[in-house]
Structure 1
Amino acid sequence: MTGGRLIRLALVGLLLAFLARPTAFAPVFAPFTRNDAPAIYTQGDLLSLALNHVALVAAAVSAASLVAVGFAILVTRPSGTDFLPLSRAIANIGQTFPPIAVLALTVPALGFGPAPTFVALLLYGLLPIFENTLTGLSGLDPAVEEAARGSGMTGRQRLLRVELPLALPLILAGIRIATVISISTATIGSTVAARTLGEVIIAGLLSNNPAFILQGGLVVGAMAVLAHDAFSWAERRAARRAGHAAR
């Protein structure tokens, strides 16, 4: 087992141990407290907050993937090329309006809670997934497509059996980028009453307790690193399969 893999396994173990029994880590965070403040955030269950955080990110990125991949498929079909400018403009909305602005605009319509954060994360995740899928689908080797066409495959069969599998590494790379960004961005959802790990960070800021800020930030950072590694592993596997399929 490589050193990098051992480090990742240790990170997973530490993360799970901390979320399961955060009070056991009080001596680690105690030096970062001020004015005899508590070392561990106990106003909410950290494991529950982490699970809510992950669920919100997973839902938003899944929805963004469906929309972005759907748009990319549409504009790479002969009948849909005219929709490329519109699709790209929609995908760019999340980058045009920062998540905090999306929250401000959606709270009056959707109310407080996870819904505004879901919308913000969905919009913010569209662009990397759309552009990567578009690159993957439009950059396929014409010889491979011609071979698939010559074998009698229909357009739907070529898409599902040839184009998407070959473009999958790039699609996963886009989803990886969107996921890592969303894990960190979801923390701002706690400003509109979404139950995320941002609650811990905000509590630290309001009470001037660096220990809360540190533990919230470390958990979010660890989750982002692990998500990045998981998607990178999936990308490598997909790339190997795509290479075999192309041959």
Structure 2
Amino acid sequence: MKLRFPTILRLLVFALLIVFLIRPEWFASVFRPLTENNAPAIYNQGSLLTLTLLHLRTVAIATAGATVVAIALAILVTRPIGAEFLPLSRSLVNIGQTFPPVAVLALAVPAVGFGEKPTLIALFLYGLLPIFENSLTGLTTLPPTVTDAARGVGMTGWQRLIKVELPLAMPIILAGIRLSVVINLATATIGSTVAAKTLGEVIIAGLQSNNLAFVLQGGLIVGILAVMIYDGMSAIEKFIAKRTGLVQQT
């Protein structure tokens, strides 16, 4: 299989990111021009690799919770028994978009304390809407011929959901999850304001010490991770779409 130049470039950038996280001191000369008064060129108040892994863990946990709740709500409101709950469900998933994450953090800290928990709550609420709306779209725009055929062969409602509806809707659902992950990767940085261990620590440390090198390091890591995860999940969506016959094989 021949790799295209954009793919090679992405792999190179990802490899450089891994090397930077493991051996950041090797890149000190690159960031030194951004420092003043002999300030450290590489973030030295913790491990960049550890902060990156903790950042990803926080996003993964919040997104997993939002995915389960959002898909469950979408399934409920697309069944005859739950159709009347659609307006209420939309109102619930819009809460995260109505209240800024900073406001959610401020409200959550008195209830659950400082640390990762308020950040998880904020990211969970913020990630619900895109997953719910995409799941709803995927489950309500299925080809009628397919669902009619499933009924014709005697499938129960549960069997149609598991074997037909969810597999066919999965590419659209994954697009919502991808959007939620990318949004939360950036949003998670504010968790450091309430003592959560995220890459926001690096950015905040840079702002407090007027060290542009720290700010750039935190921002670059988050940005590259967002692009890599976006591309990776897009590839998975295309693969599943091909497997389900939603797009032509190339």
The superposition leaves residues 169-188 of structure 1 with CA deviations (integer Å, 9 ceiling, x where unpaired) of 10000000000000010000
Cα displacement (A) at 1:11: 1.2
Q: 2:201 aligned with 1:169, yes or no?
A: no
Task: Give deviations 1:140-164, integer Å, cap 9, x for gaps.
Answer: 1111101001111111110011000
Spell out, residue by residue over 1:89-115, the C-alpha distance to the aligned partner (whole angstroms, 9 max, x if none).
011000000100000000000100000
Aligned to 1:187: 189
**Which residue is 1:137 aligned to?**
139
When the two structures are aligned, how many residues end up with a matched partner? 245
Letter in 1 for 2:196: A
Distance 2:98 2:244 in 1: 34
Q: What fraction of aligned residue pairs are identical, expressed as a percent?
A: 62
2-structure distance, mates of 1:84, 1:244 = 27
In structure 1, distance between residues paired with 2:128 and 2:244: 24
Q: Does 1:242 align with 2:244?
A: yes
Specify the alignment match of 2:234 in structure 1.
232
In structure 2, C-alpha distance between the alignment counterparts of 1:92 and 1:200, rounded to whole Å: 31
Of 219, 222, 237 in structure 1, the residue corresponding to residue 221 of structure 2 is 219
Q: Show CA shifts across 1:116-155 (max 9, x none).
A: 0000000000000000000000011111101001111111
1:24 maps to 2:26:
yes
Q: Could you tell me how far apart the structure 1 residues matched to 2:89 and 2:6 are?
A: 39
- RMSD, aligned CA: 1.0
CA separation in 2, counterparts of 1:33 and 1:44? 18
Match of 2:88 in 1: 86
Task: Specify the code of the residue in structure 1 equivalent to 2:154.
Answer: G
Q: Report the secondary structure of 2:244's partner residue.
A: helix
Matches within 5 A, 1:1-247: 1-243=3-245
Stretches of structure 2 that go unaligned for 5 or more consecutive residues are none
Distance in 2, Cα, partners of 1:177 & 1:66: 15
Q: Give how far 1:83 is off.
A: 0.5
Distance 2:26 2:108 in 1: 39
Unaligned runs of 5+ in 1: none
TM-score norm. by structure 1 comes to 0.98
TM-score by length of 2: 0.97
Amino acid at match of 1:131: E
The residue type paired with residue 238 of structure 1 is I
In 2, Cα distance between the equivalents of 1:165 and 1:99?
32
CA displacement at 1:195 relative to structure 2? 0.3
In structure 2, how many angstroms separate the alpha carbons of the residues matched to 1:91 and 1:51?
28
The ranges of structure 1 where at least 4 consecutive aligned residues each deviate by more than 4 angstroms after the TM superposition are: none
CA distance in 2, matches of 1:97, 1:241: 39
Q: Relative to structure 1, is the Cα distance of residues 18 and 111 closer, same or farther in structure 2, using a 3 angstrom cutoff?
A: same
User: How many angstroms does 1:244 deviate by?
Assistant: 6.5
For 1:69 and 1:11, the matched residues in 2 are separated by 34
Separation in 2, partners of 1:65, 1:118: 13
Deviation per CA, 1:11-63, whole angstroms, max 9, x where unpaired? Answer: 11011000001111100100101121100001101100000000000000010
Could you tell me how far apart the structure 1 residues matched to 2:37 and 2:111 are?
41
Which stretch shifts more, 236-245 or 57-66? 236-245
Which residue identity lines up with residue 25 of structure 2 in the other structure? Answer: T
